[in-house]
C-alpha cells in the first residue's frame, strides 16, 4: 500500500482553483481520475475561473465534482491510483485522511490548507507531506518555502 501525500496552501476558493488547475489538468492528461472531498461547495468558483480562461477550457476539469461531500463517501469509493483532493477545516481533513490511511488502495492525497488555518502549524504540515503543489507542479517544500528544513517527524494522519 503506497500513499503519496501532497499539500498546497491557498487564500480563497478562486486562488485554490487557479493554483490547482495546471496540476489537475496535467494529472487528467495522464489519465488520473480526480476525486474531491470538499467541506464546502466550490463549483461556482470553478465555473467563474473556467469562464475567464479563454480557449483553454477543459471539459474534464468541469466534470470533476466540486461540490461538498459527506465523509461517508470515502468509505464507499474506490481510490486506487486516483488523486484525492481534500479541503476543509482541521477536523474534516483529519477524518478524511484517517479514512484514506485505513484503505488498502494506492492513491495520491492532496491536502489543501487555507493559509490562515495553516499558518500556525506550517512546519508540521510540511513535515508530514512528501511534496507541495503549486502552479509549477509538485515541488519539494525546500523549493517553495525559503529557510524550511524538514524535521524528522513520524508521518501521521493529519
pLDDT tens sequence across 65-96: 999 888 999 998 999 999 999 999 999 999 99
Residue 150 within a domain: no
Residue 33 belongs to domain spanning: 6-144
| Cβ burial 68-86 (10 Å sphere, 16+ → b, else e) | bbeeeebeeeebeebbbbb
Residue 154 within a domain: no
- Looking at residues 139-158, what average pLDDT do you find? 74
The band of 115, judged by pLDDT with boundaries at 50, 70 and 90, is confident
The band of 60, judged by pLDDT with boundaries at 50, 70 and 90, is confident
E strands in 70-130: 82-87, 107-114
At residue 53, the pLDDT reads 75
Centre a 10 Å sphere on the Cβ of residue 115 and count the other Cβ atoms it contains.
Answer: 12
Mean pLDDT of the chain: 88
Residue 122 within a domain: yes
Question: Whats the size of the chain, residue-wise?
Answer: 158
Total domains in the chain come to: 1
| CATH, residue 134 | 3.40.50
At residue 119, the pLDDT reads 78
Higher-pLDDT residue of 60 and 3 is 3
Helix (H, G, I), strand (E, B) or coil at 34: strand
Nearest CA-CA partner of 10 in 93, 157, 132: 132
Residue 149 within a domain: no
Residue 77 within a domain: yes
User: How many Å apart are CA 125 and CA 37, to the nearest integer?
Assistant: 18
User: How is residue 44 written as a grid cell?
Assistant: 461556482
The burial class, CB within 10 Å (0-12 / 13-18 / 19+), for 153 is exposed
The band of 158, judged by pLDDT with boundaries at 50, 70 and 90, is very low
Higher-pLDDT residue of 22 and 6 is 6
- Looking at residues 23-50, what average pLDDT do you find? 92
Please say if the pLDDT value at position 15 is more than 60: yes
Amino acid at each position: 500500500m503506497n500513499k503519496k501525500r501532497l499539500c498546497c496552501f491557498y487564500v480563497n476558493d478562486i486562488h485554490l482553483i487557479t493554483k490547482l488547475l495546471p496540476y489537475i489538468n496535467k494529472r487528467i492528461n495522464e489519465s488520473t481520475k480526480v476525486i474531491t472531498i470538499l467541506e464546502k461547495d466550490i463549483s461556482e468558483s470553478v465555473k467563474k475561473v473556467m469562464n475567464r480562461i479563454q480557449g483553454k477550457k477543459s471539459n474534464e476539469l468541469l466534470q470533476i465534482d466540486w461540490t461538498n461531500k459527506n465523509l461517508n463517501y470515502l468509505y464507499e469509493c474506490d481510490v486506487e491510483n486516483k488523486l484525492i483532493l481534500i479541503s476543509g477545516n482541521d477536523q474534516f481533513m483529519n477524518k478524511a485522511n484517517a479514512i484514506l490511511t485505513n484503505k488498502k488502495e494506492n492513491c495520491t492525497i492532496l491536502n489543501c490548507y487555507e493559509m490562515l488555518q495553516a499558518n500556525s502549524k506550517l512546519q508540521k504540515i510540511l513535515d508530514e507531506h512528501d511534496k507541495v503543489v503549486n502552479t509549477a507542479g509538485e515541488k519539494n517544500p525546500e523549493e517553495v518555502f525559503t529557510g524550511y528544513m524538514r524535521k524528522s517527524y513520524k508521518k501521521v494522519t493529519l
